[in-house]
Every structure is written in structure tokens, then in C-alpha cells.
Amino acid sequence: MAAKVVTITSGKGGVGKTTVTANLGTALASLNQKVVCIDADIGLRNLDVVMGLENRIVYDIVDVIEGRCRLRQAMIRDKRLPDLYLIPAAQKRDKTAVTPSDMIRVCNELRSEYDWIVVDSPAGIERGFRNAIAPADLVYVITNPEVSAVRDADRIIGLVEAEEKGPARLVINRLNYEMVRRGDMLSTEDIVELLAIEVIGIVPEDDRVVVSTNRGVPISLDEKSLAGEAFRNIARRTLGETVPFIELDNQGGFFSRLGRLLRSGGGE
């Protein structure tokens, strides 16, 4: 076994990196892969709460790097799945507590026993970003269908190339198909044309993402959710499967049109 490292990053903050990391990790583990998620957002620990594992943290990645514990001791097992682990970020330190070679060392120690290491990167182009992509075999850039997020994604895609970690792949998160249909949101085609990059996932805007985060249960565990399915599809594509993108464009359009038809038939 030789794990591959997938780093989840973005230019702009708040676009959904942590959500994608938790869901990709969970979905890969649901497909019987052995997975370790690493929170590389030092000082802004979040992956633990999104995965619902915050109460079980004893050690963090900086404790490992500074030799206060062994790697195993910092790995929290997610009991919902057979082989899913989290290595949390340190909360009271900053990014300078970790170097790119520390990240490479930690990942190399894990490679022989796992299939996938998913690294949650901080936003931006600074040290934290460099730490997170240093061990990467694959880089997924997350964006939202919105001007500033796409612009910042372009910047990051360029940097990933410059660091010889490219070509990065794109996840478009929080796509609102109804707005795209109205011509009020950049479409997948628009974004692909602008960024000239391969898309690995399209995740719809979905209130249930927030609800599942409230509960600490990644939405990819919810069989019925469309956002969950979008995350599971990212996992399957990561494993090399060819999975068509969900045609929400038609579905959403059809159902909302049907809805309007029914409403206007009944009420007006």
C-alpha cells in the first residue's frame, strides 16, 4: 500500500475546503479505503468539529512534529467507519510551527499503511499553503461560482503549477442551479473556460450541509442528499472511476418548473 496525498486548497477563504476535506475523507473511507485526514490549518483548527471528533483530541500535529507524542497517539479514529482517522491542527500555535518538510515527513510515515491522506489547507498563498501542498500528489482547488473566488482560484492554480504540483483539479462548491438557469450565476462551463482546468466535482448549494456540520456528521454519509452524492462522486473520481456529473441543471429546472406549474394551476 502506498498512500496518495490529496491536498484541498483555495485562494479565497470560506469556500468550503474543510467541508470538502471531511466529506472526501469520509466518502473514500465508505468505499473501503484507509484514510487519514490532516488539518493543516494551524491556529484555526476546524476539521475536528466538521467531522464531529472535537471531544476526543488529546494531541495534535504540532505535538507530533515537536516530539511530544508518537504519530499514532495524535490520530483520532472515526468510529463510524472502519478506517478513517483525523490528525488535528494545533489551536494555540501559528503556521511557523510547521515546515513543508515536517508535512512531508509526517505523510511519508503514513504512506505505507493507508490509501489516502487528505490534507485540509488554510486559505491564501502564504506559509500555510506551502506546508499543505508540500506532500501533495494531487491538489484540488475549491472555488465558488463567484467573481472573487474564481479570481483567487486562478492565482492558486498558477502557484500549484509553479510549485510543480500541477495540474490542479477544480471543485466548484455551492453551485445554485436555479441562479445559473436565470443567468445570475457563473456556470460550470463559464468557470472551466476561464480557468482552463479539469473539474473533479460540482457540489450544489445545500442547506443540509450546514445542518450536517451542526451535528458533526459529514453529509456524504447521507445517502439521500444530493450534496452528499456530489461528494461521494468526487471520491469515486479520485479512485479513477468515470462518474458523470449530476445533471441538476435539468432536474432542478424541471422540478422547479413543475412546482411553478402546480402552484399556478392551483392558486391563481
14, interface contact from Mg ion, other proteins, ligand ADP, none, CB < 5-8 Å by kind: ligand ADP
Strands (E), the chain: 4-9, 35-39, 76-77, 84-87, 116-120, 138-143, 169-175, 198-204
| Closest separation in Å from C-beta 202 to other proteins | 16
Q: Which three cell numbers stand for residue 24?
A: 472526501
173, interface contact from other proteins, ligand ADP, Mg ion, none, CB < 5-8 Å by kind: ligand ADP
Binding status of residue 45 toward ligand ADP by CB under 6 A:
no
196, interface contact from ligand ADP, other proteins, Mg ion, none, CB < 5-8 Å by kind: other proteins
Tell me the H-state helices in 126-225.
127-133, 147-162, 177-182, 188-195, 207-215
What radius of gyration, in Å, describes the C-alpha atoms of the chain? 19
Q: Which of 6, 7, 11, 18 binds ligand ADP (CB under 6 A)?
A: 18
Partner residues linked to 76 by β-bridges? 86
CA separation for the pair 130, 121 (Å, rounded):
9
Residue 7 vs 213, nearer CB to ligand ADP: 213
Q: Which of 69, 196, 210, 262 binds ligand ADP (CB under 6 A)?
A: 210
Residues that bind Mg ion (CB under 5 A): 17-18, 46
161, interface contact from Mg ion, ligand ADP, other proteins, none, CB < 5-8 Å by kind: other proteins
Residue 21 vs 33, nearer CB to ligand ADP: 21
Identity of the amino acid at 44: L
